[in-house]
Structure 1
Amino acid sequence: MAADALEGPVPESSGGGGPLLDLLDKAIGLQAPLVRKNIARARQRNPEATPAEVIRTLERMYVSALAGTGAAVGGAAAVPAIGTGVALALTAGEAFSSLELSALFVLSVAEVHGIPLDEVERRRTLVMGVLLGESGSKTIGKIAERTGQHWGRQLVNKVPMATLRQINRVLGRHFITKYGAKQGIIVLGRVVPFGIGAAIGGGANAAVATLTVRAARRAFGPAPEAWPGLAPEPTPDSTPQDG
């Protein structure tokens, strides 16, 4: 698996990015040390699961968790004693929880792929690139002056740190515009009263999570056949025969 530096301190903020990017940096910093625990949880029922099976479990866990947070906040608006005002306050906290869940998912998939995550800038590139979807991958390819599939696996390990910082500055501006606007629409849907907000909130979050899962698949490509650092066991047919 990736470097032990995942267990290190919370990364410093990239600075100058505004509240949303500060929240993103905080989410990445808090979730990075939990990546291996998250993978262990995904392997709990089947310790012999292949990387591909674990990634599928991580995807299901992520979609379910994100949908659940949206439905819980949306449901609060339907309770007369709580109402829309408190639901709006709850939504602010839920937005950070969504970023945490998303960061944990992306970094966990990267770990399964054996991508080193010991540097803060690489973590930011991976998380923002996946959350921005196609526009994120295009930005990374353009600035890094490389093209090809599976940028998460092929590009992040190869581009110089100075280029990564440049990429992250551009991704940060896009992230504020696109992710912030998307969350704003979802927030309005969540606080609709009479129980409608729960359906909108959970459904919207599930849709966002599904798009993130698809973006991660494009970014990282097929899962490794064996766990990083472990050579696949030879099949009986490939074992050399004496004589």
Structure 2
Amino acid sequence: MAVDAFDGPDAVEEAPAGKVLQLLDRAIEAQSGLVSKNIARARQRNPEATPAQVIRSLERMYVSALAGSGAAVGGSAAAPGVGTGVALALSAGEFLSSLELSTLYALSIAEVHGVPLDEVERRRTIVMGIMLGGSGSGTITKMAERTGQHWGRQVVAKVPVETLKQINKVLGKNFVTKYGTKQGIIVLGRVAPFGIGAAIGGGANAALATLTVRAGRRAFGPPPAEWL
């Protein structure tokens, strides 16, 4: 998994301010083509699984992958002989990895719900709206002048692309601030002594994944009864 967007430890501090949206677009581009494979993997053990069962599998896969990624980097970064610069560089790579995992999860559940993914602006709204949680959904419904639950179906699938572009400008500013700040806290935690860093990295990532899963459920509501 490429991490060349970072040039060293200093880039970890610079990323929230100048590179998060660039990394987001890179993640969306890279993961969009993997959505079908991700859903197929969730159906692998039960090809006859309902949409609700597949979404539960996608949720478990996502939380497990993100928690494992954080714990692995936390443990490696705090291992004896690893300096702070290397530790921060490892966490910088995991920053991109967690962003890609979250992007793939958000786009996958949108696909199961039948939300169109044909426009990049729709994909941006889905990913940022879910990762921002309540503040994201509030911004989307307010700017789209829509009310009611489940913005993922009501807004992203129906609002014109030009409106979504305006929504995404506001979401982007909030995304840089909120996501960058959370990642900064996690990066510092992973440089803790060996064992503690792994616990902080895995636990923090698991907590973020759980919040993202809840936001996804609120965004789309109950799964469709049948495959669309």
Query: Does the pair score TM above 0.5?
Result: yes
Pair 1:206-2:222 in alignment: no
| Cα-to-partner distance string for 1:41-79 (whole Å, 9 max, x where unaligned) | 000000000000000000000000000110011101332
In the TM superposition, residue 195 of structure 1 has moved relative to its aligned partner by: 1.6
Distance 1:34 1:52 in 2: 20
1:160-202 CA distances to partner (integer Å, 9 max, x unpaired)?
A: 1111000000000000011110111111111112320000000
Partner residue in 1 for 2:65: 65
Distance 1:112 1:185 in 2: 33
* CA deviations over 1:53-112 (Å, ceiling 9, x no partner): 000000000000000110011101332122432121011110000010000000000000
Kindly indicate whether the alpha-carbon contact (under 8 Å) linking 2:75 and 2:195 is maintained by their aligned counterparts in 1: yes
**Contact 1:77 1:195 (C-alpha < 8 Å) held by counterparts:** no
Instruction: Write 1 or 2 for the structure with the bigger share of helix.
Output: 2
- Report the equivalent of 2:218: 218
Question: Is 1:84–1:193's contact at 8 Å kept on the other side of the alignment?
Answer: no
CA separation of 1:113 and 1:224: change in aligned 2, threshold 3 A: same
Q: Which residue of 1 aligns with 2:189?
A: 189
Counterpart of 1:153 in structure 2: which amino acid? R
* Equivalent residue letter for 2:107: L
Alignment size in residue pairs: 212
Q: Equivalent residues in 2 for 1:113-124 (5 A)?
A: 113-124=113-124
User: Counterpart of 1:169?
Assistant: 169
TM-score after normalising by structure 2: 0.91
Please state how far the C-alpha of 1:155 moved relative to its aligned partner.
1.0
Matched residue type, 1:184: G
For 2:78 and 2:142, how far apart are their aligned partners in 1? Answer: 46
What TM-score does the superposition give when structure 1 sets the normalisation length?
A: 0.86
Deviations 1:191-225 (A, max 9, x none): 11232000000000000000000000000100000
Task: Map 1:1-243; keep pairs closer than 5 Å.
Answer: 18-228=18-228
Instruction: Give how far 1:156 is off.
Output: 0.8
Secondary structure in 2 matching 1:46: coil
Decide whether the 8 Å contact of 2:55 with 2:112 is kept in 1. Answer: yes
The whole-number CA distance in structure 1 between the counterparts of 2:92 and 2:66 is 14
In 1, the alpha carbon distance for the partners of 2:19 and 2:77 equals 25
- Tell me by how many angstroms 1:25 deviates: 0.4
Q: Deviations over 1:111-130 (max 9, x none)?
A: 00111101000000000000
AA partner of residue 59 (structure 1) = E
RMSD of the TM alignment (CA)?
Answer: 1.0
- Segments of 5+ residues of structure 1 without an aligned counterpart are 1-16, 229-243
In the alignment, is the contact (CA less than 8 A) between 2:78 and 2:190 conserved in 1?
Answer: no
Distance 2:132 2:73 in 1: 24
Conservation of the 8 A alpha-carbon contact between 2:78 and 2:87:
no
Contact 2:80 2:194 (C-alpha < 8 Å) held by counterparts: no
Measure, in 1, the Cα distance between the counterparts of 2:64 and 2:173: 29
Match of 1:3 in 2: none
Structure 1's consecutive aligned runs of 4 or more residues displaced over 3 angstroms after TM superposition are none
Question: Which structure is larger by alpha-carbon Rg, 1 or 2?
Answer: 1
- 1:9 aligns with none
Cα distance in structure 2, aligned partners of 1:81 and 1:186:
21
Mapped to 1, the partners of 2:141 and 2:31 lie a distance apart of 26
Return the offset for 1:154: 1.1
